């Protein structure tokens, strides 16, 4: 059963207590871990003078960080191989499940075993990666060597097949500059097959030619060729051979386009230079035999080696994948354990050591209603750790401002996040989130009101709620924002369905449920409007005085006949504009009402009389009266009296100018909406004007008088204390010559007197602390109200607030007209989209293509209309209405009572850390 305190915490933040913990060294780990499971303590840093490397548990945190590094390494390897981890744990189980399941606190022994296991798995995986990388490098080299042997065989066959003439034709296709080198290479290639002709050719001595073959990236070949040509001055032969297939890079796994080359140069010096250039361009060189038999045998060996390497790589991949699957089975469990242990030690680093070194001292903020649970956790942690010494929790009195803790669940969390985005509640301040659960989606729906669009929005939110467990693990940033506000979107959709029914608007069309209150016979309309609809029909100009059936009213929502009226926009504009003002004044009035609860909570009774009441009078005397006139005009002036209905705007202007209606006006006697209207309006204006100096002057003057009274009481108290101290010393001097017993009695009596004075002083100090704490809520939590009080600052601050409220009441009322503006824009845009897409599709395809072809084409027209409806009207217009509703709550509503100067309660909670996984 829900306690009354729980209801109280919904509308105001939880009461917080600053507590001090004395934790035994042998049980501190288990106690902190249990507190992390419950998430009820926000610890303070008692070692702010020490950096993170000078604290006690640095070594344990480093061990956890090293294990986290290994976990990240495993995840990268799993992602590279396409191995997915198991389903993530659900850290948001309800209280019943948490009570049934025992809390698993990892011990240091478990941490050491996990550390050894991760070390072994990392070593095995690194060995597998190393072996696999070596095999891939070997496979790449053999593949390139295979291509070189295959292409080089064709190259040397061309060079040796038909003698020098064939060599010349082949050399013309190579990158050659020196003709003399061409002739020598031709003879060099022809000599091995004709050894008997060496002595028969009277040529100059043959210079030995060097042949180099290798592979290089195709993107580097142009630079490589240019460098060789410049270094050798054109004295090389270079042939490029492209590899047909893409080769995988063993390091990155990317497919690369490589090409082979055959390089011929003369001289040992040029050969060494070319080798250095190849090394600089990361080109691999391979030895290629010139004899065909040797090349054939080498090609066969390479093919056999490639087959063996592929088998080894396949077995290595299988073993590696099995290893990763075994890791993935326990990966989430290991991550949870490491995160819990690491955060536990990081929290323990916030504690300080006592002088004995046997226990740790911690300070934390705890909700007052959970102190008993915290004490039970201390006992439970002592039993789990088998500690002999008890741990103690004490409450510390303080004047510091506690953190703000607003209780929320998954339904209210979205609305609480909207409020906290503006600023966390000041401690003890009224929480706007419970009221925003209703007001926010309703204000949104007034701007977004369309039944069809609301149904789509509600269905989308309902789908996210039904698929909540599956969608919780989605890590897309944009979708996560929608998912976090799924209940907010659901209420926005439901309220939009309601307001759309009130507007009788579904995809810009109206629904005729109860007939119409206007004449159904078109002959009774005296004239039709010249305006035509998108379908070509004339629109009706509705005049309620002439065409309205006085005996019938449309039961719910707007009469559907306005859908075919030429003056529809004029009628709906008047209705929605007045509705916006009414809703705005009501919401601001409610915000002012909530401010009195803050004044009462902080015991600011002077603010109740000189701020709350004048603000209420100012708002109701002007804008409350304006709302009254709107309702009165609706009830008192029907269609038969519309001609003499007074303008509310003109009435307000005359009200501020104390001006009576013109006697020459034919509706003069009818301009007074009720008897005594002018007198009542004058009284309201006088009350509104009188409330301004009351808000401006009374409170600063009251605080000044209280300050002077506090100073006088402080002076009188100091004089009395001084006189008592002097009389005490004089009594001691007069009785100094008495006997020892009398001296002891006097000493005791004086001691008792001093103790009494100290007790009174302590009681007064406690009273001053409470008084200063109360004044701190108004003047920035001052430590000494007497020294820091400044009448100038107080008066300027009160002046700013008074001007802000008076001007804000006018500007905020006008700001609520955005409800009318966005509602009009949404309705008009929806109507334009229907007329320009759907109606045009109906009209064109019906007459041009016939019914059958038109039905096929209308399928695509409807799809186009549906896409535009979702993208423009629901997503874009919905986002615009959402932002405007958010602004109306932040500025127009919450500014009346909400300061938002607090800081949030951020407890040490494992669930918060695990949600980041």
Concatenate the DSSP letters of all residues of 41-100 into one string. Answer: -EE--S-TTS-GGGSTTHHHHHHHHHHHHHHHHHHHHHHHHTPPPPPPP-----HHHHHH
pLDDT of residue 152: 73
Angular region, 254: left φ>0, alpha ψ -120 to 50, beta rest: beta
The 10 Å Cβ neighbour count of residue 827 is: 20
Bridge-partner residues for 264, per DSSP?
Answer: 211, 237
Distance CA 776, CA 772 (A): 6
pLDDT of residue 551: 66
Angular region, 581: left φ>0, alpha ψ -120 to 50, beta rest: alpha
pLDDT bin (cut points 50, 70, 90) of residue 661 is low
Q: How far out from the chain centre does Cα 346 lie?
A: 25
Angular region, 675: left φ>0, alpha ψ -120 to 50, beta rest: beta
* Burial (Cβ within 10 Å: 0-12, 13-18, ≥19) of residue 740: exposed
**Angle at which helices 877-887 and 818-833 pack, to 10 degrees?**
180
pLDDT bin (cut points 50, 70, 90) of residue 297 is confident
Distance CA 573, CA 565 (A): 14
Number of H helices, E strands in the chain: 33, 14
pLDDT bin (cut points 50, 70, 90) of residue 521 is low
Average pLDDT over residues 650-654: 87
Task: Give the angle subtended at the CA of 814 by the CAs of 811 and 819, to the nearest 5°.
Answer: 135
Distance CA 33, CA 908 (A): 9
Residue-by-residue DSSP string for 254-291: -EE-EEEEEEEEESHHHHHHHHHHHHHTT-EEE---SS
Average pLDDT over residues 795-803: 93
pLDDT of residue 243: 82
Average pLDDT over residues 104-129: 88
CB-based contact 670:644 (threshold 8 Å)? yes
Q: Which two tokens stand for residue 816?
A: 């609520």
Distance CA 270, CA 210 (A): 9
Average pLDDT over residues 147-151: 80
Average pLDDT over residues 29-39: 93
Nearest of 64, 75, 88, 87 to residue 125 by alpha carbon: 75
Taken in order 341, 342, 345, 350, the sign of the CA dihedral is negative
Residue 231 scores a pLDDT above 90? no
Most trustworthy range by pLDDT among 55-69, 157-171, 202-216 = 55-69
Q: How far out from the chain centre does Cα 361 lie?
A: 35
Average pLDDT over residues 155-176: 48
Q: Which two tokens stand for residue 685?
A: 């204006």
CB-based contact 857:770 (threshold 8 Å)? no
CA 547 vs CA 524, 550, 640, 733: distances in Å: 8, 9, 11, 109
Looking at residue 697, the DSSP 8-state letter turns out to be I
CB-based contact 430:594 (threshold 8 Å)? yes
The percent of residues above 90 in pLDDT, for the chain, comes to: 41
Per the document, the length of the chain is 917
Residue 526 scores a pLDDT above 90? no
Residue-by-residue DSSP string for 881-902: HHHHHHHIIIIIIGGGT-----
Distance CA 696, CA 615 (A): 11
* H or E, element range at 352: strand 352-353
Distance CA 113, CA 106 (A): 11
- Could you tell me where the beta strands, DSSP code E, fall in 443-574? 528-532, 538-540
Average pLDDT over residues 200-207: 46
Distance CA 108, CA 116 (A): 12
Residue 860 scores a pLDDT above 70? yes
Taken in order 644, 645, 647, 650, the sign of the CA dihedral is positive
pTM attached to this predicted model: 0.77
Most trustworthy range by pLDDT among 250-254, 509-513, 576-580 = 576-580
Residue 478 scores a pLDDT above 50? yes
- Tens digits of per-residue pLDDT, 566-610? 778 888 898 999 999 999 999 999 999 999 999 999 999 999 999
Residue 745 scores a pLDDT above 60? no
Looking at residue 908, the DSSP 8-state letter turns out to be -
Distance CA 707, CA 789 (A): 8
Most trustworthy range by pLDDT among 29-43, 83-97, 531-545, 731-745 = 29-43
Distance CA 685, CA 796 (A): 26
pLDDT of residue 447: 96
Q: How far out from the chain centre does Cα 368 lie?
A: 30
* H or E, element range at 746: helix 740-779
Side-chain half-sphere of 693: how many Cα atoms within 13 Å? 4
CA 855 vs CA 509, 712, 862, 863: distances in Å: 21, 92, 10, 12
Most trustworthy range by pLDDT among 4-18, 203-217, 224-238, 493-507 = 493-507
pLDDT of residue 850: 64
pLDDT of residue 695: 94
Distance CA 597, CA 430 (A): 7
CB-based contact 550:557 (threshold 8 Å)? no
pLDDT bin (cut points 50, 70, 90) of residue 339 is very high
Mean pLDDT of all residues belonging to the chain: 80
Residue 155 scores a pLDDT above 70? no
CB-based contact 235:185 (threshold 8 Å)? no
Average pLDDT over residues 249-268: 83
Q: Which two tokens stand for residue 236?
A: 């090389």
Looking at residue 641, the DSSP 8-state letter turns out to be G
Nearest of 896, 64, 14 to residue 435 by alpha carbon: 896
pLDDT bin (cut points 50, 70, 90) of residue 154 is low
* H or E, element range at 217: strand 209-217
Instruction: Report the 3 state secondary structure along 107-130.
Output: CHHHHHHHHHHHHHHHHHHHHHHH
Residue 750 scores a pLDDT above 50? no
Range scoring the smallest mean pLDDT among 184-198, 419-433, 445-459, 544-558:
184-198
pLDDT of residue 22: 92
Bridge-partner residues for 841, per DSSP?
Answer: none
pLDDT bin (cut points 50, 70, 90) of residue 644 is confident
Place of tokens 């986002």: 879
Average pLDDT over residues 316-337: 90
pLDDT of residue 764: 36
Phi/psi at 848 (nearest 5 deg)? Answer: -90, -40
Angular region, 507: left φ>0, alpha ψ -120 to 50, beta rest: left
pLDDT bin (cut points 50, 70, 90) of residue 119 is very high
CA 358 vs CA 28, 139, 439: distances in Å: 11, 63, 55
pLDDT of residue 9: 65
CB-based contact 216:259 (threshold 8 Å)? yes
The percent of residues above 70 in pLDDT, for the chain, comes to: 76
Average pLDDT over residues 190-197: 44
Phi/psi at 77 (nearest 5 deg)? Answer: -65, -40
pLDDT of residue 54: 85
Average pLDDT over residues 241-258: 82
Task: Give the angle subtended at the CA of 433 by the CAs of 428 and 437, to the nearest 5°.
Answer: 155
Distance CA 378, CA 905 (A): 21
Phi/psi at 543 (nearest 5 deg)? Answer: -120, 105
CA 752 vs CA 543, 748, 756, 763: distances in Å: 95, 6, 6, 16
Helix (H, G, I), strand (E, B) or coil at 719: helix
Distance CA 850, CA 871 (A): 31
CB-based contact 908:435 (threshold 8 Å)? no
Straight-line distance from the first to the last Cα atom of the chain, in angstroms, rounded to the nearest whole number: 34
Residue 787 scores a pLDDT above 70? no
pLDDT of residue 483: 93
Distance CA 635, CA 653 (A): 22
């Amino acid at each position: 059963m829900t306690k009354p305190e729980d209801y109280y915490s919904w509308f105001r933040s939880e009461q917080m207590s600053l507590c001090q913990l004395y934790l035994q060294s042998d049980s501190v780990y288990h106690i902190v871990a249990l507190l992390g499971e419950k998430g009820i303590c926000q610890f303070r840093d008692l070692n702010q003078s020490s950096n993170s490397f000078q604290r006690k548990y640095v070594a344990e945190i480093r061990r956890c960080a090293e294990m986290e590094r290994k976990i990240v390494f495993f995840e990268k390897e799993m992602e590279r191989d396409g191995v997915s981890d198991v389903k993530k744990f659900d850290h948001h189980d309800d209280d019943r499940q948490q009570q049934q399941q025992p809390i698993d606190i990892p011990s240091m022994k478990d941490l050491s075993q996990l550390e050894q296991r991760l070390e072994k798995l990392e070593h095995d995986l690194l060995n597998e990666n190393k072996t696999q990388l070596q095999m891939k490098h070997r496979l790449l080299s053999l593949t390139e060597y295979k291509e070189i042997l295959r292409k080089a065989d064709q190259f040397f066959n061309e060079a040796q097949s038909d003698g020098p003439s064939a060599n010349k034709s082949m050399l013309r296709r190579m990158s050659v500059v020196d003709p003399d080198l061409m002739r020598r290479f031709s003879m060099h290639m022809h000599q091995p097959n004709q050894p008997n002709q060496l002595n028969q050719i009277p040529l100059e001595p043959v210079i030995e030619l060097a042949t180099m073959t290798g592979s290089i990236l195709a993107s580097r070949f142009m630079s490589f060729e240019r460098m060789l040509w410049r270094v050798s001055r054109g004295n090389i032969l270079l042939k490029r051979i492209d590899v047909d297939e893409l080769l995988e890079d063993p390091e990155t796994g990317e497919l690369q386009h490589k090409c082979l080359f055959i390089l011929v140069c003369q001289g040992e010096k040029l050969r060494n230079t070319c080798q250095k250039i190849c090394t600089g361009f990361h080109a691999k060189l391979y030895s290629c035999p010139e004899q065909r038999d040797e090349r054939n045998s080498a090609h066969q060996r390479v093919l056999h080696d490639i087959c063996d390497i592929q088998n080894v790589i396949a077995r290595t991949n299988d073993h590696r994948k099995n290893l990763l699957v075994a890791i993935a089975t326990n990966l989430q469990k290991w991550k949870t354990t490491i995160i819990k242990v690491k955060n536990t030690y990081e929290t323990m680093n916030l504690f300080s050591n006592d002088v004995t070194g046997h226990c740790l001292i911690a300070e934390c903020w705890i909700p007052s209603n959970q102190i008993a649970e915290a004490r039970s956790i201390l006992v439970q942690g002592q039993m789990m750790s088998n500690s002999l010494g008890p741990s103690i929790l004490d409450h510390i009195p303080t004047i510091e401002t506690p953190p703000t803790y607003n209780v929320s669940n998954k339904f209210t969390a979205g609305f609480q996040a909207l409020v906290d985005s503006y600023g966390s509640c000041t401690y003890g301040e009224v929480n706007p989130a419970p009221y925003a659960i209703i007001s926010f989606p309703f204000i949104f729906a007034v701007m977004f009101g369309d039944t069809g669009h609301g149904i789509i929005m509600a269905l989308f939110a309902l789908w996210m709620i039904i698929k909540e467990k599956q969608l919780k693990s989605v890590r897309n940033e944009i979708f996560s924002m929608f998912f976090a506000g799924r209940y907010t979107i659901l209420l926005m959709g439901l309220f939009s369905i309601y307001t759309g029914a009130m507007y009788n608007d579904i995809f810009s069309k109206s629904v005729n449920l109860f007939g119409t209150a206007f004449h159904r016979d078109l002959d009774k309309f005296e004239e039709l409007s010249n305006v035509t609809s998108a379908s070509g029909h004339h629109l009706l100009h509705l005049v309620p005085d002439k065409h309205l059936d006085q005996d019938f009213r449309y039961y719910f929502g707007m009469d559907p006949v306005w859908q075919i009226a030429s003056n529809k926009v004029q009628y709906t504009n008047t209705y929605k504009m007045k509705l916006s003002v009414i809703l705005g004044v009501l919401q601001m009035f409610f915000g002012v009402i909530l401010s009195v609860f803050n004044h009462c909570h902080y015991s600011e009774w002077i603010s109740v009389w000189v701020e709350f009441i004048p603000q209420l009078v100012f708002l109701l005397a002007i804008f409350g009266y304006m709302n009254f006139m709107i309702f009165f005009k609706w009830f008192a002036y029907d269609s038969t009296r519309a001609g003499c209905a007074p303008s509310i705007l003109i009435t307000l202007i005359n009200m501020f100018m104390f001006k009576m209606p013109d006697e020459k006006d034919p509706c003069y006697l009818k301009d007074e909406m009720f008897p005594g209207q002018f007198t009542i309006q004058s009284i309201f204006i006088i009350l509104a004007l009188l409330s301004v100096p009351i808000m401006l002057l009374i409170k600063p003057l009251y605080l000044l008088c209280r300050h002077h009274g506090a100073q006088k009481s402080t002076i009188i108290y100091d004089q009395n204390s001084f006189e008592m101290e002097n009389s005490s010393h004089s009594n001691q001097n007069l009785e100094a010559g008495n006997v020892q017993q009398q001296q002891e009695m006097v000493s005791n009596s004086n001691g008792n007197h001093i103790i009494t004075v100290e007790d009174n002083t302590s009681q007064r100090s406690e009273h001053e602390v409470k008084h200063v704490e109360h004044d701190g809520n108004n003047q920035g939590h001052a430590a000494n109200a007497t020294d820091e009080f400044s009448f100038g600052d107080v008066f300027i601050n009160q002046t700013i607030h008074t001007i802000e409220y008076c001007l804000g009441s006018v500007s905020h009322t006008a700001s609520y007209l955005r409800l009318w503006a966005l509602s009009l824009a949404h309705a008009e845009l929806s109507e334009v989209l229907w007329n320009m897409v759907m109606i045009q599709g109906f009209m064109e395809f019906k007459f041009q293509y016939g019914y059958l072809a038109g039905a096929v084409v209308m399928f695509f027209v409807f799809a186009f209309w549906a896409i535009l409806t979702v993208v423009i009207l629901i997503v874009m217009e919905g986002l615009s209405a959402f932002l405007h509703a958010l602004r109306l709550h932040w500025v127009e509503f919450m500014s009346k009572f909400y300061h938002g100067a607090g800081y949030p309660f951020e407890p040490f909670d494992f669930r918060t850390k695990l949600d980041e996984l």
